[in-house]
Amino acid sequence: MSKGTINKAIIIGRLGQDPEMKYTPSGTAVANFSVATNHAIKDQDGNFSDKTEWHRIVAYGRTAEVAGEYLVKGKLVFVEGRIQTRSWEDQNGQKRYMTEIVCSNMQLLGSKNEGDATSADVNDKDEAGESQETEEPSKKQAEEEDDLPF
């Protein structure tokens, strides 16, 4: 870790599509998905409207496997990770860029009414999947989440 710098993103949003699953030649799972967040914008007349922002997410290892198994379009999810920008040249020689969040921690959110059979909290220490853990919250914790005002 570089001293004096931080690269951290935390978002809570809804999936725009089911995760796209791939595997590296060494067998590591890779999940790509997009998450939408929104916020209200007030115009000159004082009227509010929602502005949606889309975030590209990439997860590796056990986190990717959980994403592929449990995440579906519309699902509410907490994602924590670092922001990464990649660049490449397209077919026409134009330089292209893609900014994404490399997921290190993911938690499935939502109530039982949204069709949740289970909820999982997953942490990945690195892309190679050297240190990973998965936790299932207790029933009491899930019931307490249902009582939250948001």
Is 98 part of any domain? yes
Which residues share a beta bridge with 54?
36
Closest-CA residue to 123 (of 134, 136, 137) = 134
Mean pLDDT of 14-42: 94
Instruction: Return d(Cα 87, Cα 30) in angstroms, integer.
Output: 19
CA angle at 71 for the pair 40 and 136, rounded to the nearest 5°:
105
Collect all residues with Cβ–Cβ distance below 8 Å to 91 and sequence separation of at least 6: none
Residue 51, token pair as written in the block: 């502005």
Is 3 part of any domain? no
Is 106 part of any domain? yes
Q: pLDDT, tens digit, for every residue of 46-71?
A: 888 899 999 999 999 999 999 999 99
Of the pLDDT bands very low, low, confident and very high (cuts 50, 70, 90), residue 132 is very low
Mean pLDDT of 76-87: 95
- The answer to whether residue 72 scores a pLDDT higher than 70 is yes
Is 50 part of any domain? yes
- The answer to whether residue 144 scores a pLDDT higher than 50 is no
Is 102 part of any domain? yes
Total number of domains in the chain: 1
Is 122 part of any domain? yes
Boundaries of domain holding 54: 9-146
Closest-CA residue to 105 (of 1, 2, 10, 28) = 10
Of the pLDDT bands very low, low, confident and very high (cuts 50, 70, 90), residue 10 is very high
Of the pLDDT bands very low, low, confident and very high (cuts 50, 70, 90), residue 6 is very high
Query: 108 and 142 in contact (C-beta within 8 Å)?
Result: no
For residue 138, the model assigns a pLDDT of: 42
CATH number at residue 90: 2.40.50.140
Mean pLDDT of 100-128: 67
Is 85 part of any domain? yes
For residue 111, the model assigns a pLDDT of: 67
Model confidence, pTM: 0.69
Closest-CA residue to 142 (of 116, 103, 105, 106) = 116
Is 4 part of any domain? no
User: What percentage of the chain exceeds 90 in pLDDT?
Assistant: 61
